[in-house]
Amino acid sequence: MTNRKYRAAVGLLSLLAIPSLTRVAIAAQQSPPPQQSAAPQLSDDPFVWLEDIDGQRSMDWVNTKNAATIAALTRSPLYQSFYDRIKQILDSKDKIANPEIIGNSLYNFWQDAEHERGIWRRTSWASYATAHPSWETVLDVDSLSKADGVTWSFGGADCFEPEYKRCIIALSRGGSDATETREFDLTSKTFVSDGFTIPEAKTSTAWVDDSTLLVGTDFGSGSMTTSGYPRITKLWRRGTPLSSATTVFEVPPDHVGGFAFSVDAGDRRYLRLTDAVTFYESAQYLYDRGKAIKIDVLKDADLYLVRDQIVVYVRDPWTVGGKTWPTGSLVAMSFDDFLASKRDLQLVMQPGARETINRISSTRDYLIINVLNNVRGELRRYRHRKGAWSFDRVPAPDLGTVGVVARSSRSNRYFFTFTNFIQPTTLYVTAENGGVSEIKRLPAMFDATGLVVEQMEATSKDGTRIPFFIVHRDGMKHDGSNPTLLGAYGGFEIAITPSYSSHTGAAWLERGGVFVLANIRGGGEFGPQWHRAGLKENRQRIYDDFTAVAEELIKDGVTSPPHLGIRGGSNGGLLMGVALTQHPELYNAVLIQNPLLDMKGFSHLLAGASWMGEYGDPDKPEEWAYISRYSPYQNLKSGTKYPTAMFTTTTRDDRVHPAHARKMAAKMESLGIPFFYFENTEGGHGAGVTNAQVAKEYALTYVYLWQQLGVPNEVKTGGR
């Protein structure tokens, strides 16, 4: 796992357009089991009791608010049509079955009406290339849930390479980050009766060999960090109890966590250990014959190992070997020489002024680099030969998002997708020689006739140009009457790029709504500097950027406050909370999903301590001084006219505590401010586990948006 994958694993995920985590990243999720409750935070907080996740009083409150919201929003004739349409899309057998390359087979996790919790299945390369592949079920999660009496959610598989006979399967209750892990035999398609099994926890595993694991999990008192992640990694040999495993790596309890992972680098295999000091700083080690060998790179750099090369993505300027590599550089050299203290680094790529390296993948011989050029994606393929790096561009469409979805270190074949707001996602496959061919295309899930996409800019308070995409009908009137939905994320160096959202298309664009995606600071759209411009004491810049886009839409006549709604999840939910409390006059709908809102207590709730590198430490007076100026929960005031907001979260979200949404809604209730509230009992840090659960939440939220922004005859009372 690279630093960047680690950050994605333990960070906040946008509910708008973030690709799925890798199977390794899934294993890194960790927090108290979902039935446990975090300790109350503030004695003077009248709603601290809502932090008791499954407490009777808390759940009575949740059930009451859910019932009120469901009763109010399902009265609309839009609800059932939205639910049926979205459920049909989610269950569609015409969806692209994105592959994962494991050994010589292609694997896929699939959900539809017959497989609510999903099946993990496989097929051959030849069969996958046909219109109707022949799939072999490897694991049926619905059948497993029935047999175990547990509502399991599939959390991914980490398989031992290159044999690919045994895997560590992660299973979570209701979609939570904490997982139970079990060893699985891919040949017999059964769990290994006497195999590696780890009780429910946030667990990190790495195969050392086919009989040995590196394991980081909850070993008991003192084995977890204050962020809720493993701090101790142990060597566990087959046939011995977990309690007898030997400690090989340990990090301090106030660090984010310690993680182990294996790297299949083609003709070499590496074991790596990471001491995640903060969210953005990590110490990297190579685990070799019982020893942890320090890899001497800057703590904020991303590190990749490809065949015999160490590849480093530079965030802070790095002076090494008599040369200074600037921010954003990608450099490389022989890993063996690097460990021998040589520093003959070579430049692989230096992005231009409006470019950034968004993601890096590798095949047997190539680095595949996803580059954003003014938030438009392209793929470049780099190879190291005869002591030098060279590249060519991978043929792919323009004006959208390109991303690798499956690759292997054992060949040069890989799969990538192209998508944008109105063009259905297309899957491409490459040949060993680099040739590219289309292999699957998603059918149109909504009618995009007459829709156009523009990229525009707003000017933020400090003069910074903020790009945004706008999707609308051709010939749209600029009279301020268009129902408009504005989304953004703005955090954790995560770039938000165009994507084909079937539910947004079917329930919003197709009905005449305008959709806007803002690329505000805090994200990774223009590299590390774009992110760092909004860290900690500078966070208000992110919120000013968002406000600038909203004001530009109003100024340009695209919309007006009665018709402007906003939507964001997780860190984007915090953004929505700030927009609500700082500029309630600009919006008539505010959809706040799985949010952070109580920034006074966030670092004490579940995985919150791991994000202090992004927001700061509210327990330090000098840092609370700037956090307090925007924290939505603390800045909600009586006597202010707010738009009717809607909160969504899940009881089983063990990453961002559901109390953030609960307490904000309860405070609104105490101040007589109307709102809608919906909390799914399953779903983890998302909208649900089954397609039915997801469709229900989506349908409720789109009814809410249309009632607030575009359907004047609908009832607009909040779910109090």
Quick one: pLDDT at residue 690?
Answer: 85
Element of type H or E holding 336: helix 335-339
Cβ-contact 671, 638 below 8 angstroms? yes
Task: Determine the angle formed by the axes of helices 56-74 and 691-709, rounding to 10 degrees.
Answer: 60
Quick one: pLDDT at residue 354?
Answer: 87
pLDDT band at 681 (very low <50, low <70, confident <90, very high): confident
Quick one: pLDDT at residue 175?
Answer: 79
Candidate list 76, 499, 570, 603, residue with the active-site label: 570
For residue 40, pLDDT over 60 is answered with no
**CB within 8 Å of 533: residues ≥ 6 apart:** 464, 521, 522, 541
For residue 300, pLDDT over 80 is answered with yes
**CB within 8 Å of 271: residues ≥ 6 apart:** 206, 208, 214, 260, 261, 262, 263, 286, 287, 288
Tens digit of pLDDT for each residue in 686-709? 766 788 999 999 999 999 999 999
% pLDDT > 70, the chain: 92
User: Residue 540: is it exposed, middle or buried by C-beta count within 10 angstroms (0-12/13-18/19+)?
Assistant: middle
Active site residue 685: yes
Q: Mean pLDDT across the stretch 342-365?
A: 94
Q: How far is CA 613 from CA 484, 599, 610, in A?
A: 33, 13, 7
Tens digit of pLDDT for each residue in 191-214? 999 999 999 999 999 999 999 999
For residue 26, pLDDT over 90 is answered with no
Other CB atoms within 10 A of residue 42 CB:
13
DSSP state of 431: -
Against a cut of 0.85, is the pTM above it? Answer: yes
Q: Mean pLDDT across the stretch 380-404?
A: 91
Q: Mean pLDDT across the stretch 545-563?
A: 98
Question: Nearest-CA neighbor of 368 among 323, 428, 285, 282?
Answer: 428
Quick one: pLDDT at residue 162?
Answer: 86
Quick one: pLDDT at residue 710?
Answer: 86
For residue 555, pLDDT over 90 is answered with yes
pLDDT band at 711 (very low <50, low <70, confident <90, very high): low
Cβ-contact 51, 41 below 8 angstroms? yes
Domains of the chain: 48-88+445-709 (3.40.50.1820)
Cβ-contact 284, 298 below 8 angstroms? no
Tens digit of pLDDT for each residue in 626-649? 999 999 999 999 999 999 999 999
Q: Mean pLDDT across the stretch 272-276?
A: 96
Classify 508 in phi/psi space as left (phi over 0), alpha (psi -120 to 50) or beta: alpha
DSSP state of 230: B
Tens digit of pLDDT for each residue in 393-449? 999 888 899 999 999 999 999 999 999 999 999 999 999 988 999 999 999 999 999
Quick one: pLDDT at residue 229?
Answer: 94
pLDDT band at 683 (very low <50, low <70, confident <90, very high): low
Residues 684 and 12: their CA atoms lie apart, in Å, by 12
Cβ-contact 604, 660 below 8 angstroms? no
Provide the H-helix boundaries in 3-101: 3-10, 23-27, 56-74, 77-91
Q: How far is CA 10 from CA 2, 25, 259, 279, in A?
A: 13, 8, 11, 8
Q: Mean pLDDT across the stretch 551-578?
A: 98
For residue 712, pLDDT over 50 is answered with no
4-13, 204-213, 651-660: segment of lowest average pLDDT: 4-13
Residues 494 and 155: their CA atoms lie apart, in Å, by 22
Residues 570 and 567: their CA atoms lie apart, in Å, by 11
pLDDT band at 618 (very low <50, low <70, confident <90, very high): very high
% pLDDT > 90, the chain: 85
Mean pLDDT, the chain, integer: 90
3-state secondary structure of 308: coil
Residues 684 and 177: their CA atoms lie apart, in Å, by 7
Give the amino acid at 472.
H
Active site residue 20: no
Residues 520 and 503: their CA atoms lie apart, in Å, by 24
pLDDT band at 511 (very low <50, low <70, confident <90, very high): very high
For residue 617, pLDDT over 50 is answered with yes
For residue 622, pLDDT over 60 is answered with yes
Q: How far is CA 317 from CA 283, 295, 320, 405, 423, in A?
A: 17, 18, 10, 31, 39
Residues 485 and 463: their CA atoms lie apart, in Å, by 24
189-193, 288-292, 516-520: segment of lowest average pLDDT: 288-292
For residue 23, pLDDT over 60 is answered with no
Number of H helices, E strands in the chain: 16, 39
pLDDT band at 307 (very low <50, low <70, confident <90, very high): confident
Question: Which is higher by pLDDT, 509 or 44?
Answer: 509
